[in-house]
Amino acid sequence: MALRQTFTQWLFRFGQDEHLPVVLTQRRIFIMPTGAGVLYAIVLITMLIGAINYNLSLGHALVFLLAGLGLVAMVHTFRNLLGLCITPGRAEPVFAGETAHFTLHVENPWRHARRVLELAIGKNPPVTLDIPAGEQASIAIPCATVRRGRLDPGRVTLASRYPLGFFRAWSYPHPPLSCLVYPKPLNEPLPPASSGWEAAGRRGRSGQEDFSGLRERQPNDSPRHIAWKAAARDIDRPLLVKQFDGGAAEELWLDWAAITHSRDSEMRLSLLTGWVLAAEREQYRYGLRLPGCVIAPDCGPPHRDACLEALALHV
């Protein structure tokens, strides 16, 4: 079994490609006849038997002509993959259960176009790609996700049946692809004040009555603090937000230990993921407490992504 696995890995290059770009050389491309190709060969053999039986010179000529056409098609199918250069791109994070899309940049350095290239990961549906001569194209390959964490989709199947469909040529490039999969969020209300808010945060609104001035709005500022009257007086200037003194800002702690109604780790992570998204929508300053990980309160897309990444990679 170990010898067979070693031979299979050597033959199909199941290991990850360390050198980029991945170039499809002759040794990396495999080719076999399709069902249509097998049927085509059977028809040619039948025609050849008939031509021999009835001593038909034109029948022989037709059979050899069609056989030559099949061989030319085999060569063109193989050349449709030969020499392609593959470079991995970036994959955007997704939530568990969603479809991740891994970007590949495929370069065609030769002087003939590559037609109807099929790319797929595992048993996911393939996507097709055409690349003009001497150009590069990018394509996003779908891959279904099941669980959270760092997803390595494995090898990519790059295949072609062009031009006649009598043969299928394929290769197994394995560029370093990776995607972060967040836990599937549970849409539940934010934790009650008794469990989620710090004491200073609970009195945050009372101190906001001491107005201290205006400043330009930042992307992380809450829409509740925009000075709409000042914006109406001068629509050409940037939006301004009100500043207040004398109170603490609202700070919500999303705490692993505060979830007492469930002991399932994945359920807790999904619930915390939903809370992170809800707190971000409400423009709260929120922090995250996990066993062995504490993220200080903040808000904004970078903070949200840091919290989601911690939840995705929690062990």
Pair (96, 111) in one structural domain? yes
Cβ atoms of residues 132 and 119 within 8 Å: no
Q: What is the number of structural domains in the chain? A: 3
Pair (5, 108) in one structural domain? yes
Residue-level pLDDT at 248:
45
Pair (62, 200) in one structural domain? no
Residue-level pLDDT at 40:
97
Matching residue, tokens 């069609």: 66
Matching residue, tokens 């955007």: 92
Pair (162, 240) in one structural domain? no
Pair (30, 141) in one structural domain? yes
Residue-level pLDDT at 13:
55
Pair (117, 261) in one structural domain? no
Q: What is the rounded (10 degree) CA torsion for 25, 27, 32, 37?
A: 40
Pair (275, 314) in one structural domain? yes
Pair (4, 87) in one structural domain? yes
Residue-level pLDDT at 200:
41
Q: pLDDT below 50 — which residues of the chain?
A: 194-209, 246-248
CA atoms of 29 and 213, how far apart (whole Å): 68
DSSP 62: H
CA atoms of 167 and 44, how far apart (whole Å): 16
Residue-level pLDDT at 4:
64
Cβ atoms of residues 197 and 252 within 8 Å: yes
Domain end residue (candidates: 162, 179, 196): 179
- Residue range of the domain that includes 38: 1-179
Alpha helices, DSSP H only, in the chain?
A: 2-12, 35-54, 57-79, 193-196, 199-202, 228-233, 265-281, 301-312
Pair (200, 234) in one structural domain? no
Cβ atoms of residues 29 and 170 within 8 Å: yes
What are residue 245's DSSP bridge partners? Answer: 210
Residue-level pLDDT at 238:
76
Q: Provide the 3-class DSSP secondary structure of residue 56.
A: coil
Tell me the C-alpha to C-alpha distance, in Å, between residue 281 and each of 205, 211, 301: 18, 25, 10
Pair (126, 199) in one structural domain? no
pTM of the model: 0.76
Residue-level pLDDT at 226:
76
Pair (76, 146) in one structural domain? yes
Pair (161, 192) in one structural domain? no
